[in-house]
Structure 1
Amino acid sequence: MTAIETIAAEGQASLFLLIAGVVLVVFLIGAFWYGSRRRRRGAPPATQNPAAQQREDSWQTPEERARDQEDQEYPRS
């Protein structure tokens, strides 16, 4: 093989890789676009757990917690 044939053979492989890279990038962009579009159309998120909603602002100091625990204890006989 001459130098020109070698260069031509190498150019074909790089052209193939270039085209494959462009196709891959287009595929990934399309998949991202489709996924984000599908996510926007999806059902709205479910409502929050009712137990979690009740405890939303349930910060207590140690004193308040101790008082609540005393109130919840069974009476001793």
Structure 2
Amino acid sequence: MTAMRTLAAEAQPALFLIVAGVVLVVLLIGAFWYGSRRRRRLAAPPRPAEQNPLMQSREDAWQTPQEHAREEERHRYPGT
């Protein structure tokens, strides 16, 4: 009987760790599922065709600071 009591006493902490591990895995799976549901509910980012038309003309463009300054000046003083 003494050996059985010793083995039973030693198994209790291991059982606790197994249960805690299972609970942790269930929580992680639940968090992933909840996060993916929230992500699907968010609005998709706007497509290039839906964005501001002024931004479309500049898409994939690069300007030097001088070109940018000329463009800003044209917007400030139209007709020049």
Matched letter for residue 43 of structure 1: L
Separation in 2, partners of 1:9, 1:29: 32
Identity of counterpart residues, as a percentage?
59
Q: What is the RMSD of the two structures over their aligned residues, measured on CA atoms?
A: 3.3
TM-score, normalized by length of structure 1? 0.57
Tell me which of the two structures has the higher relative contact order, counting C-alpha pairs closer than 8 angstroms and 6 or more residues apart. 2
Per-residue deviation, 1:52: 8.1
Find the counterpart in structure 1 of residue 43 from structure 2: 44
TM-score, normalized by length of structure 2? 0.56
Per-residue deviation, 1:35: 1.0
Per-residue deviation, 1:57: 2.4
Residue 56 (str. 1) matches residue 33 (str. 2): no
Separation in 1, partners of 2:39, 2:63: 38
| Stretches of 4+ aligned residues off by more than 4 angstroms | none
The gaps in structure 2 that reach 5 residues or longer are: 74-80
The gaps in structure 1 that reach 5 residues or longer are: 73-77
Per-residue deviation, 1:25: 0.5
Change (3 A) 1:29 1:57: same
Matched letter for residue 9 of structure 2: A
Alignment length (residue pairs): 70
Matched letter for residue 9 of structure 1: A
